[in-house]
Structure 1
């Protein structure tokens, strides 16, 4: 919710209006844009960690969940590090945060920072797609049920192309070779919208895998049903 609140704050500060109309208030818009970017990354990784916690709860009934403890710690570090990377050294006084092409000196390497953030985002999502396959392989249940579990977890697959699309449009903000001048305030609105779409879908997919209908269909009882070694 914090991310969406900061996005609305960006709109209040002038996001989406022609740059000439808001340039005198650019400091406030830049501050809210940074806050929006940081909260987007943190919320994205919180959703990933929630999925890991759910998988760990299942895994702990069959074997040592140490792998998930390590992954949760790693994802926590990645989330905090990514938020720091995209925001450090980019004060509001340096100009509009999303004016990447114009902030080369005052906010150096901003495009590269977002490329790193997106690469880590995609890699961490791929890991989340592999883990359910590894998990259900050890469960004693029909193949059809295993497939259902994997497919449900794989509903988060679209977050990968959404992340890549967001990065593509973010990179467009760094391009200064366009034949026609681009209003950076209007152009960055699309990036803000894409962040909201990506985060919303990530939250929906995370909620889906932990919903009552899914866990009832899982029929493991978290250790009391088809788990190897469970009491008969």
Structure 2
């Protein structure tokens, strides 16, 4: 014991049977570092397509920063040490900081769940009403859970009763509250795994891609055993002879749960995963997609399936008038004549168009690529696009002028 006292002056934190604060320091810094690096990677990947899901994740990261700061304050005051080694002031400061840590932790967990469901909602267009309604309901439920969980782990309890020196000083009903919070926490994580699997399973995608969607969103499943381990070790620490030290495993599991939750909310945003979505129309979903018209999804109502299409001006060139005209996918919405068969979506090769460069004839010329394809602020959607062709035909006398009749 004397040797430990001598070496303590040369170490930032020590680990002894009566002091486990060194372990908590390591876990706290690692968890905050990993979650922060993941958040920065998310911002880098989605810099030009930021949305409400990224705002929710930013709030989750801010709450994580608050709980990390409070945890360091609690550790400096004596968290992880035997309560007998702490003065009255140190014990009160430690209990107060740890009390705030628990509230900020559940706020961060709640916002990470909201960011996940908002990301799922963002993958679908508004005309897919079933998907949007499901996501809206789940978002409201998760937001209510965040407020309720923060309230249940703190309301009616003093900071000292949340870090009791003996079982008799424990806040009444706090165990039942934590059991309810952990159980509902697990249920919400399961729902966040089931919803994307259910919605994407109705799309025209290969089974392999659907399983990939399920696998990526399944990264939230490890949160369930982590929450269960926290609850088990925390309840056990309330009835031991040395609760200050015995609570260390519970805090470790809680920090791991928060770190995994923040990372799991960002993994589906990886560009390689997002680009793997295929809507069945031959169009790969990717950043910069700007198709707006002709979108019909499996969740569309009958009213949305019968919709109008925005038509643009045809640029006429010296080609046979009987030639079929095809829509070229450009952000300016113009339609150029294209003698090639109709193709949908973006390809690796830029679209080609006839251009008269001299009097001798025509030659192929590459159209200007989509200037906003890399930096577009359009949201990324899973959509089902409808393709059509407009052909030149002799107008019959029975046809009403100005009416475009599309084939059924």
**Would you say how many aligned residue pairs link Structure 1 and Structure 2?**
223
Task: Pick closer, same or farther for the CA change 1:49–1:184 going to 2, 3 Å.
Answer: same
Match of 1:29 among 81, 91, 94: 94
TM-score, scaled to structure 1: 0.88
**Tell me, which stretches of 5 or more residues in structure 2 are unaligned?**
1-64, 278-283, 292-344, 346-380, 388-408
| CA RMSD, Structure 1 to Structure 2 (Å) | 2.1
Q: Choose the corresponding residue for 1:59, options 120, 124, 144.
A: 124
1:178 match: none
Q: Partner residue of 1:44?
A: 109
Quote the Cα distance in structure 2 between the aligned partners of 1:30 and 1:129.
Answer: 36
- When you count strand as a share of all residues, which structure comes out higher? 2
- Judge conservation of contact 1:118–1:167 (CA < 8 Å) in 2: yes
Aligned 1:1-232 pairs, distance under 5 A? 1-24=65-88, 25-60=90-125, 63-64=128-129, 65-92=132-159, 95=160, 97-99=162-164, 101-104=167-170, 107-175=171-239, 181-218=240-277, 219-221=284-286, 227=382, 229-232=384-387
Q: Cα gap change, 1:108/1:85 in structure 2, threshold over 3 Å: closer, same or farther? A: same
The structure, 1 or 2, with the larger RCO (C-alpha pairs under 8 Å, 6+ apart) is 1
The answer as to whether partners of 1:7 and 1:192 remain within 8 angstroms in 2 is no
- Give the TM-score taking structure 2 as reference length: 0.52
Q: Which is further off, 26-35 or 54-63? A: 54-63
Deviations 1:160-179 (A, max 9, x none): 1111111111111233xxxx
Q: Does the CA contact (< 8 Å) of 2:77 and 2:93 recur in 1?
A: yes
Q: Spell out structure 1 runs of 4+ moving beyond 2 A.
A: 59-62, 98-104, 216-229
3-state DSSP of counterpart to 1:170: helix
Residues 61-108 of structure 1 deviation map (CA, whole Å, 9 limit, x = unaligned): 56110221121111111111111111011123xx2523282334xx21
Matched residues in 2 for 1:210 and 1:229: separation? 21
> 1:98 touches 1:188 (CA, 8 Å); kept in 2?
no
